[in-house]
Amino acid sequence: MIHLNGKTAIVTGGANGIGRAIAELFRDAGASVVVADIEEASAMEGIRCLCADVSISADAVRVVEEALAVSGRIDVLCNNAAYLGQVHGALEADEAEFERCFAVSLMGTQHFTKAVLPHMIRQQSGSIINISSVQGMVGARTSAAYTSLKHALAGYTRSVAYDYGLHGVRCNAICPGAIQTRISPKPGDELHARQIGKTFLGRTGDPREVAYAALFLASDASSYITGAIIPVDGGWTAM
């Protein structure tokens, strides 16, 4: 049975959706979990929730320091926070849209990764999980900034895996497909139907189905997996 007993984990963007499902599953698997989110999280029993903007490096350092106070170590970092906002094609997207996607999705991942790496290197162990998207593997309409930065996360993941593998630090990425969350298209909408049409399973996924993939990558059961880009997409990217 996969467990995270004795491990300390940080989940960014964990107040809602996929991030919340990951945080709760990590807790259920035995980890001490700290959630960092710009939004206030509704109560999650047994999980410490901190208000933090991942695009600010000082916030990342503060969250890591508070997580270290739990056990003196950081075993798992899940970089889930991302910026979606209004999405546009390249002709309509302005600099602010690109800059915010860059600041949250990529630099937020960098800030937290940079903050945990010295501790993982000292421990000679650690698992970093970056939540990308199927749009980090294939194209999508009217989402130039979001798709570009999700593609960038794949390169970032492989770079971290390459540089720190000899220190026992693993880094992998998960690419969720159409997952039903509060910001997803509603059943019956044209976009919802189009998403279902891209899957082999004929349905959207549940956040917990992504969380189980994250749990595997966080655990010792995946000890020989690093630098991997793993779709959890119902077959979307296999077409």
224 as an active site residue: the answer is no
Q: Which residue spans within 40-99 are E strands per DSSP? A: 47-51, 76-79
Q: Which residues contact 143 (CB under 8 A, 6 or more apart)?
A: 87, 88, 89, 135
Q: Which residues contact 72 (CB under 8 A, 6 or more apart)?
A: none
CA–CA distance, 147 with 143 (Å, rounded to integer) = 6
Name the DSSP class of 217: H
Catalytic residue selected from 83, 146, 156, 164: 146
What number of CA atoms fall less than 13 Å from residue 160's CA on the CB side? 32
Q: Which residues contact 221 (CB under 8 A, 6 or more apart)?
A: 2
Q: Which residues contact 69 (CB under 8 A, 6 or more apart)?
A: none
For strand 47-51 and strand 76-79, is the pairing parallel, antiparallel, or unpaired?
Answer: unpaired
Under 8 Å between Cβ of 179 and 206: yes
For residue 37, the tally of other CB atoms under 10 A from its CB is 23
Report which residue type is found at 10: I
Residue with tokens 């980090």: 136
Residue 183: which of 16, 66, 51, 19 has the closest Cα? Answer: 16
Catalytic residues: 146
